[in-house]
Amino acid sequence: MRVSWMYAPTLRELPAEAEIASHRLMLRAGLMRKLVSGVYSYLPLGYRVIRRVEQIVREEMDRQGGLEILMSALQPAELWKASKRWEEYGPEMFKLTDRSGREFCLGPTHEEIFTALIRDEVRSYRQLPLLLYQIQTKYRDEIRPRFGLMRAREFIMKDLYSFDRDEAGLDVSYRKMYEAYSRVFFRCGISYMVVEADVGAMGGTDSHEFVIVTESGEADLVFCTQCGYAANVERAECRAPNKTADSEMLPLEEVETPEMRTIDEVSGFLGVQPSQLVKTLIYVADGVPVAVLIRGDRDLNEAKLRRVLGATNIALADEETITKVTGAPVGFAGPIGLSVGCLIADLEVEAMTNFIVGGNARDLHIKNANVGRDFKVTRYADLRNAVQGDPCPRCGARLNSAKGTEVGHIFKLGTKYSQALGARYVDENGQEHPIIMGSYGIGITRTVAAIIESNHDDDGIIWPMSVAPYQAVVIPINVTEEPQRTTAEEIYSELGRRGVEVVLDDRNERPGVKFKDADLIGYPIRIVVGPRGLDARQVEVKLRRSKEAKMVDIAALPDLVLSIIREEVAALTPQ
């Protein structure tokens, strides 16, 4: 490809709306352009990278027995209503109605559609297991699209669904996808971490996220360097604190706390640490108010609360509900005398004595509250967010924390969708059973952004050879000089003949402009044809990831370039 033929509009200025490296560089390097917030058009260089990632994904899915199909992005509402996700999915779903009044959505994911296909086609255990996947555009109406492709409203995704006879079969499919995902991200040159994760609205049991660690990440992670435990904070387990010797229970004491509603306000006013307070949070779980107790300096983990309660929907109660349940305005709720059917407390609360709680009256708190003597707890559970320094739930060592961005997610769905949509098979004894399912997603466009986040410097992108839009660029210093132009054309033609994906920068531009574009776009190999060395039939070769350049005989150049490509691809090939 000649640059004079190429549409690659590079930018010198930093785009104002771009907050992270991948977003900035994809715009500056001419890989994409914004259409509207969260929606992008992919230009030739960007689309070549997307296709490279797609090919790696296809190879690894096929390697595990995956079969590629293509389903519609337009999905009928009745399938989502059957799984009860039509309302549950929330405002992120793009919904529309056709001219006949039939409801549809633009697919944010495809569990229901794949399940309906198998329901209508699979009858016998002999047709299982199945691994079906597609690479398809997905749509999610993000409340705040940001970070370019990391949180977009339209994006390309690979989703695979496994269909098995039983849990043992699901375990096999799950392990296959775990291995496949590990190979995909290794081949793409991404530094990734695998963490336990919450299943969320997808349902099912186990799930793992494949994440890149980055300061701009929106997920909070904790991990242990001793035993390898790692989890998204939504899923991370917290150990129950060690029991200490019982302290003497002090008498209850009411204290006035005028307009002191928050933990910081109350602890500051009373001259105590936030950890000496227990906050009472009123939630509504599937329409029923519940009270939750958690130490004052901790954050409640709503995903854990939802799992413990077995609830589909939970949300903080509104002001009217709080007042009705507690008899007090927001900020003064407490467990003593609270009239609520379920009072659930975090494990840490069980080990606390003589703590401070709200008094269920305006401007009132109570000191020296104790569980058992002053109020009863319905049940204790792990309800808080894990934080750095907590003991590892596996080995007890101290946890570290980091920010991360999800690039892949695998789920054990079980029978959530097959039961709801009636996908069943008949076993060898003539008995019917629901098909056991798994769901496995990789964000293709998000993976492209993740590759850049993991591979860039101040000058631009440093593409791994496996996903680079082109493998090499040939740059004549002065294209108007006949010897340089002729030599550059010869090298360009010979490398192309030898199978190298090569670009010839044939523009009549200053050398500095060409070098800056080459670094910005990130071609792995740069070959410079200039007056220096040309008489000796030599050219300069530099790798994008290296600061050093060397002179190479033109006759030896094709073999050297092919050798570099083979070595770099081999380094990104799992053993």
Taking the model in full, what pTM does it have? 0.88
- Does residue 278 contact residue 297 with C-beta atoms inside 8 Å? no
Are 149 and 263 within one domain? no
| Angle in degrees, 0-180, between the axes of helices 557-571 and 482-497, rounded to the nearest 10 | 50
Distance CA 126, CA 424 (A): 13
C-alpha radius of gyration, the chain, whole number: 29
Distance CA 405, CA 403 (A): 7
Are 330 and 444 within one domain? no
- Comparing CA positions, the residue from 219, 149, 223, 193 lying closest to residue 403 is 219
Distance CA 442, CA 448 (A): 11
Are 440 and 523 within one domain? no
What is the domain count for the chain? Answer: 3
CA dist 176 → 8, 173, 191, 264, 408 (Å)? 39, 5, 20, 49, 14
Has residue 10 been placed in a domain? Answer: no
Nearest 5°: the CA angle 97, 103, 107 is 100
Nearest 5°: the CA angle 238, 244, 250 is 115
* Domain end residue (candidates: 359, 381, 403): 381
CATH number, domain containing residue 547: 3.40.50.800
Are 30 and 152 within one domain? yes
Q: How many CB atoms lie within 10 A of CB 556?
A: 12
Are 23 and 164 within one domain? yes
* Domain end residue (candidates: 425, 453, 481): 453
Residues linked to residue 34 through DSSP beta bridges, in sequence order: 40
Has residue 388 been placed in a domain? Answer: no
The per-residue pLDDT string of the chain (575 residues; one tens digit each, 9 = 90 and over) reads: 899 999 999 998 888 888 899 999 999 999 999 999 999 999 999 999 999 999 999 999 999 999 999 999 999 999 999 999 998 888 999 999 999 999 999 999 999 999 999 999 999 999 999 999 999 999 999 988 888 999 899 999 999 999 999 999 999 999 999 999 999 999 999 989 999 987 665 455 688 999 998 887 888 999 999 999 999 998 999 988 877 667 899 999 999 999 999 999 999 999 999 999 999 999 999 999 999 999 999 999 999 999 899 888 899 999 999 999 999 999 999 999 998 889 999 999 999 999 999 999 999 999 999 999 999 999 999 999 999 999 999 999 999 999 999 999 999 999 999 999 999 999 999 999 999 999 999 999 999 999 999 999 999 999 999 999 999 999 999 999 999 999 999 999 999 999 999 999 999 999 999 999 999 999 999 999 998 888 889 999 999 999 899 999 999 999 999 999 999 999 999 98
Are 23 and 83 within one domain? yes
Distance CA 422, CA 122 (A): 11
Cis, bond preceding 129 (omega within 30 deg of 0): yes
- Nearest 5°: phi and psi at 455? -140, 80
Has residue 199 been placed in a domain? Answer: no
- Comparing CA positions, the residue from 383, 384, 389, 393 lying closest to residue 401 is 389
Has residue 150 been placed in a domain? Answer: yes
pLDDT at 122: 96
Are 444 and 562 within one domain? no
Distance CA 490, CA 558 (A): 11
pLDDT at 13: 86
pLDDT at 244: 67
Are 48 and 122 within one domain? yes
pLDDT at 160: 98
pLDDT at 199: 65
Q: How many CB atoms lie within 10 A of CB 485?
A: 16
Has residue 270 been placed in a domain? Answer: yes
CA dist 536 → 227, 319, 482, 485, 531 (Å)? 58, 82, 16, 16, 10
Residues linked to residue 36 through DSSP beta bridges, in sequence order: 39
Has residue 74 been placed in a domain? Answer: yes
Has residue 233 been placed in a domain? Answer: no
* Domain end residue (candidates: 406, 425, 453): 453
- Does residue 408 contact residue 442 with C-beta atoms inside 8 Å? yes
Range of the domain at 530: 470-571
CATH number, domain containing residue 315: 3.90.960.10
Are 320 and 172 within one domain? no
Q: Which amino acid is at 122?
A: V
Are 443 and 549 within one domain? no
Neighbouring residues of 150: CB distance < 8 A, sequence distance ≥ 6: 20, 22, 23, 216, 218, 405, 446, 449, 450
pLDDT at 204: 54
Are 431 and 554 within one domain? no
The stretches of 35-100 forming alpha helices (DSSP H) are: 44-63, 77-82, 85-88
Has residue 201 been placed in a domain? Answer: no
pLDDT at 200: 60
